[in-house]
Amino acid sequence: MSTTDKNISSFNVAQIREDFPILNEKAHGKPLVYFDNAATSQKPQIVIDAITNYYSHYNANIHRGVHFLSQKASNAFDDVRFKVKHFLNSRSEREIIFVKGTTEAINLVAATYGRQNIHAGDEVLITAMEHHSNIVPWQLLCEEKGAKLKVIPMNDAGELMMEELDFLISNKTKIISVVHTSNSLGTVNPVKEIITKAHSKGIPVFVDGAQSTVHSIIDVQDLDCDFFAFSGHKMLGPTGVGCLYGKAELLEQMPPYMGGGEMISSVSFEKTTFNEIPFKFEAGTPNIADVIALGFAIDYLMQMDREASFNYEHELLTYAMHHLSTIDGVRLIGTAKNKASVVSFVLNDINAFDAGMYLDTKGIAVRTGHHCTEPVMTRLNIPGTIRASFMFYNTKEEIDALVEHVRKAIAFLKPQHA
């Protein structure tokens, strides 16, 4: 406790909140309590300003023009690749590919590496708690190739049943794609252990870092994952931009994803030769403004005391889980030992959507439903949950408001004749 307390006292949430202008907004005339951070995070002013500055002062297409603005935009854009390299600790900036987000990164790998290496009778291994984005691209690939999608099961607490892994990995397994942190349950999966096991059989591993990147230090060399992806908008950056990390030796062997400008070396009607990585995978004019703004989001995170922010978020998580669990009629969903700051819960006899709308009338933003993880809900035999997900700019006072209004929602919504 003492070390945690020390970290929290050194973590100045009031000061942090000043960086996020939206936190002063009202919702239905009430102070906004934003607990939908797992869907998308809010943005600090420097990220918002970066977009305006780019369009106001140096908007130009990159890598093509000889002129002043194009040089300036190209430099700003190229710098971000180095920032991401540093942020993920990859060996080289050539291993960083700009994409729209995690979904596109998974589709890219499934359509290139997957199509090249997975054949009839082969197997793709995922987990029981994948987001639909890490199910459907592999399913499409398996259908196309006559391959099989296999699933690492989870227990009632929402933890992977790692003892099953040895039975699920076989010489037919061609890739393992796992979610680092579950968006609907908050479970942090033992990806390093999975990677070590997979590599002992020569199987590459894709790690979906959409939820983990803002809540933990990512070191792709330490993880030794073969692919890693994150979405900018879930880590203080803008929507429409994300990154795929891939080991250079794999990326070099993979065919291109989309054809177009930038990704080519030379084009004739007889034959096109492709550019080197990472450009081979970046066809067309990229999302320049948002990539530049993503760079500012990374700057913002890197200048923070991240360990203190993780400890603070953990404190918010345990505080919320403790207080919600004391309410009669609340059942917490996802009680893994290793959890990120996501609390999912259901209410006895009360529809999650109705309760979510009740909270909305009080200015509290949560998400309800299956959170794009329908198989998780099926596994746990529930239609959906109410999910509150926290970021380091949230406060215990906001959690108090959530707890108070969950109590009131239960009183208001409980069935009349129950």
Partner 1 sequence: MKTITELEQQIVEDFELFDEWEEKYQYIIELGQKLKPLAAEYKMDGNKIKGCQSSVWLNAYNEGDKIFFEADSDSTFVKGEIALLINVLSGQSAEEILSNELGFVDRIGLRQHMAQTRANGLAAMIKQMKLYALGFQHKTA
* Residues at the site binding partner 1, with contacts judged by CB under 8 A: 28-29, 351, 353-354, 357-358, 361-362, 369, 383, 412-413, 415-416
- Is 142 noted as a catalytic residue in this protein? no
Rounded Cα distance, 151 and 361, in Å? 39
Give 303 or 416: the residue with its C-beta nearer to partner 1: 416
What are the respective helix, strand and coil percentages of the chain, to the nearest 5? 45, 20, 35
Measured from the CB of residue 353, what is the shortest distance to partner 1 in angstroms? 5
Q: Which is nearer to partner 1, 375 or 383 (CB)?
A: 383
Looking at 142, 225, 243, 372, which residue is catalytic?
A: 372
Pick between residue 261 and residue 369 the one whose CB is nearest to partner 1: 369
**H or E element, residue 206:** strand 205-208
CB-nearer residue toward partner 1: 170 or 348: 348
Backbone Cα Rg of the chain: 22
Q: Which residue matches tokens 């408001």?
A: 401
DSSP 255: P
| Pairing verdict, β 272-274 and 342-347 | unpaired
Residue 19's Cβ-count burial label (10 Å; 0-12, 13-18, 19+) is: middle
Per-residue b/e over 82-110, b at no fewer than 16 CB within 10 Å?
A: ebbbebbebeebbbbbbbbbbbbbbbbbb
- CB 413 to partner 1: min, Å: 6
The kind and range of the H/E element at 197 are: helix 191-200
Provide the annotated active-site residues: 372
